[in-house]
Amino acid sequence: MGRKLLTEHINVAGIRHLDTYRKHGGYETLKKALGMKPEDIVEEVKKSGLRGRGALDSQQE
């Protein structure tokens, strides 16, 4: 099984505070994305293998 990205730092004391979150790598990927061209972001998402349509799926009944 892969890394559990959403819960990787869940037990870090104070992780809900911005300074602690940043010390543990918070917002690093956002910084990377803000420096990329839109088409490069699309390619990253395609390479990631993400699937599904999120909230739109629940509307398709």
15, 22 Cβ separation under 8 angstroms: no
Could you tell me how far CA 47 lies from the centroid of its own chain?
14
Residue 44 tokens read as 């990253």
pTM of the model: 0.57
45, 29 Cβ separation under 8 angstroms: no
Can you tell me the distance from the alpha carbon of 46 to that of 51, in angstroms, rounded to the nearest whole number? 9
| Residues sharing a CB contact under 8 Å with residue 26, sequence separation 6 or more, in sequence order | 18
Instruction: For residue 3, name the pLDDT band (cuts at 50, 70, 90).
Output: confident
More confident residue, 17 or 54: 17
Instruction: For residue 43, name the pLDDT band (cuts at 50, 70, 90).
Output: very high
